[in-house]
Amino acid sequence: MQWEQPSDGYRITKVVSQRQDGECILTWQWPKDVEYVYIYSFEAGAERHPEDLSPQQLKLFTREEYKSKSGYRDKVDYIGLRGYRIFPCVRRDGRLVLLMQADESNLVLMNGGRARIVYSLKYGSKLFSKFKTARIQLFCEIAVPQDALCYVKKEGANPSNKDDGIAYPFMSDFPVGRSVLQEIEIGKNDFIRIFFTDKKYSELFSLSME
């Protein structure tokens, strides 16, 4: 594939995404002399450099198709954020030359929906002990990194947020499906809840307790 750096008159601008009837609809401002673009879609955070892309990862789209379909349409059958980058291209000597635009003007993100995380807690008592056990189970629709979640312990009541008690990290990522974690020993009057470690994860996942 042949790449060149774009000049100012050949840049894609004003990319906008909207969701409608299960589709992501992309619209943008076409440069005057550009009749073709290649569209590259990728999972957020996993974008590859243009020169590392294969032809199979790019989709050719023409200005005529854009007009007839009122934009580029892609089925939203994914969870979480997906990126779309639109590369302008021009025809030279019978070949399409891609322009390596890699700024914010030809990039847009689309949220396909938040993946569910559902957890449950079971406490076990120990006779004549100052301690009890807590067993955590989680169900994840997609894989969840360990740093997305923490459990918070509070004495006397359930914690209301990640700062309402002592926060503890998890030691490994969570796979798709159900995970049963090792029992935790806590004080007899302690209670546990799970929270996101950062607000950014609430944009990708929904967290609820059974």
Contacts of 64 (CB under 8 A, 6+ apart): none
Q: What is the pLDDT at residue 1?
A: 80
Query: Residue 79's pLDDT is what?
Result: 81
- pLDDT tens digits for 125-165? 877 889 999 999 999 988 899 999 999 999 999 999 999 99
**Domain 3-111 fold:** Immunoglobulin-like (2.60.40)
State whether CATH 2.60.40 applies to domain 115-209: yes
The predicted pLDDT at position 114 comes to 85
pLDDT of residue 169: 97
* Enclosing H/E stretch for 37: strand 36-43
Establish how many alpha carbons lie within 13 A of residue 7's alpha carbon, considering only the half-sphere containing its beta carbon.
5
Domain boundaries, the chain: 3-111, 115-209
DSSP-assigned beta bridge partners for residue 154: 191
Fold match between 3-111 and 115-209?
yes
User: 3-state DSSP call for residue 136?
Assistant: strand
- Show the low-confidence residues of the chain (pLDDT under 70): none
Residue type for 17, please?
S
Q: Give phi and psi for 65, each to the nearest 5.
A: -60, -40
Q: What percent of the chain has pLDDT over 90?
A: 81
pLDDT attached to residue 160: 97
> For residue 33, what are the contacts with CB-CB under 8 A and spacing of at least 6?
9, 10, 90
What's CA 182's distance to the chain center, in Å? Answer: 28
